[in-house]
Amino acid sequence: MTTRVLVPSGVLCLGFDRAALARGVALRPDIIAIDGGSTDSGPFSLGAGQSKYARAATKSEWRDLMLARAKAGVPLIIGTAGTCGTDATVDWMFDITAELAAELGQKLRVARLYSSQPAERVITAMEEGRLRPLPPAPEVSAEGLRAMTNIVALAGAEQVQAALATGADIIIAGRTTDTATIAALPLLRGDHAGGAWHGAKIAECGALCSTNPTSGVIVVDFDDSGFTVEAMHDSALCTPHSVSAHMLYENSDPFQLYEPGGYLDVRGAVYTALDARRVRVEGSAWVPGRYSVKLEGARVAGYQTTILAVLRDPHYVANAREWVEKLTRFLKAEIASRMGLAADAYGLEFRLIGVDSALGSLENRQGQPVEVGVLGIVTAATQATAAEIGKLINPFVLHYPLTEDEELPTFAFPYSPATTDRGALYEFALNHVMELDDPMQAFRLTVTEVGA
């Protein structure tokens, strides 16, 4: 049975072309699926359990998709709701949905699929030998797991299918794999498994698999031997090259893609142009394996305060490295004597913007910059300590002289106060999979009626 999936864009809040969306809806899709996040932006979202996108932007795009859903009369699903897919961000997305349902006069059945994991569940899996590290994985311990602010498991097609089985109009899923929300319905209807996962991977970034990546909207037709992909914007063409090259993107292995119940192998895939706009793909294989879900976890690794000074004085620009090395030695002594803090109780680092701030020790080029930005980063066990160190170093970052016999220099501070308290520094602390006997054993579903 052919299953038509409409993917409005690679992620909610990235924008999509309205006319292209309307064209997609007119093709009578069986489901509308969009991603809501990933780890792309770093550990903050997961650590704090917050969306990285503005609520207003989320609501305005979701409004368009809820209207498209009403017109199409099919389910609408978002995966990894609220960037990180924690229970808190699923509920945040649910609140937005309920508000919109009332505003639009839609009466809806909304399913929420929760992916957050209590630490004790993961600890039990570890004790039972069901927690497996993926290289390179951080060390884990029961204590370390309990200290994580959020742990999520990536749901696969099975959990999304359970959500679809509730008959929901809208499904708000917590953390899912990028592909699961797209592959779930074709798999449920018996379409080709290799084609379902491969097509889902091609479509998960929206029109990124076409010649006009920012146009967003993609439609994929899945069937019993493969899939056909087409972009909805006039100027967006899917070509065998644009489609096959998408397997390179953000994948460490472009031929094998791991999912909860096995892996996709695209080495045998054949990409054929049906015409100038559409590509047909067949020959991808699905290889079943032990059912395991990938975990993501984040913990607080300290609290930070930053300071930024700009050197324009040519003498200091030319000797910036020597200057920060001398300054750092001086400041460590000051911090030890005035605050009684040992060097291993905090972090103090200066990065030279204009010299090597992006690549650090890997940088192998040198230039002659006009100015150098000096980004000071303080990391400490509490925000109060980081802020106190920031205040202590502030006058020296402003005035520290390269030599003893010169007049005190004054560098450029771009703002006042010169220091910025950044709050918690989160870090990713898991790169593991957890084996499950039943796919739903680590996930929860609730169904709520909303709107009028």
Partner 1 sequence: MKVKDQVLKVRSKNAGPFWVTIDVFCGTPEAFSTVSAALKTDAVARLYGTETQLVKRFDIADLHVVKFSIPRPVVQGSAQDRDMHGAQWAHLLAEMAL
d(CA 65, CA 67): 5
Please select the residue that binds partner 1; options are 73, 340, 365, 437, rule is CB under 8 A. Answer: 365
> In angstroms, what is the minimal distance from the CB of 143 to partner 1?
20
- In the complex with partner 1, the residue whose CB is nearer, 33 or 266, is 266
The Cα 437–Cα 291 span in angstroms is 7
What is the footprint of partner 1 within residues 234-293 (CB under 8 A)?
241, 244-245, 248-255
The answer to whether the beta carbons of residues 28 and 76 sit under 8 Å apart is: no
Is 428 a binder of partner 1 (CB under 8 A)?
Answer: yes
Cα distances from 166 to residues 71, 113, 138, 170, in angstroms, run: 21, 11, 38, 10
Amino acid found at 220: V
Applying CB under 8 A, which part among 18-26, 33-41, 67-75, 386-394 lies near partner 1?
Answer: 33-41
The piece of 13-21, 128-136, 160-168, 315-323 that touches partner 1 (CB under 8 A) is 128-136
- Edge-to-edge strand order for the sheet containing 226-231? 270-273, 278-282, 226-231, 218-222, 3-7, 31-37, 76-83, 170-173, 108-114, 444-450
Q: Which of 144, 283, 347, 423 binds partner 1 (CB under 8 A)?
A: 347
| Min dist. Cβ of residue 205 to partner 1 (A) | 11
What element of type H or E holds 423? strand 419-428
Q: Would you state the structure tokens that stand for residue 265, as one six-digit string? A: 């192998």
- Contact between 379 and partner 1 by CB under 8 A: the answer reads yes
DSSP E strands: which ranges in 248-360? Answer: 256-259, 262-265, 270-273, 278-282, 285-288, 292-311, 346-353
Nearer Cβ to partner 1, position 47 or 174? Answer: 47
| Phi, psi (rounded to 5 degrees) for 295 | -110, 150
Among 73, 344, 361, 403, binds partner 1 (CB under 8 A): 361
From the CB of 138, what's the least distance to partner 1, in Å?
8
Task: State which residue, 337 or 361, has the beta carbon closest to partner 1.
Answer: 361
Measure the CA–CA gap between 291 and 433, rounded to whole angstroms: 10
Using CB under 8 A as the binding rule, whether residue 364 contacts partner 1 is answered as yes
136 near partner 1 (CB under 8 A): yes
42 binds partner 1 (CB under 8 A): yes
> How is 113-163 classified by DSSP, letter by letter?
EE-B--HHHHHHHHHTT-EEE-SS-----HHHHHT-SEEEE-B-HHHHHHH
Using rule CB under 8 A, residue 328 touches partner 1: no
CB of 386 to partner 1, least distance (A): 12
Among 1, 56, 359, 447, binds partner 1 (CB under 8 A): 359
Which residues would be at the binding site for partner 1 (CB under 8 A)? 39-44, 134-138, 241, 244-245, 248-255, 301-302, 347, 351, 357-362, 364-365, 377, 379, 425-428, 431
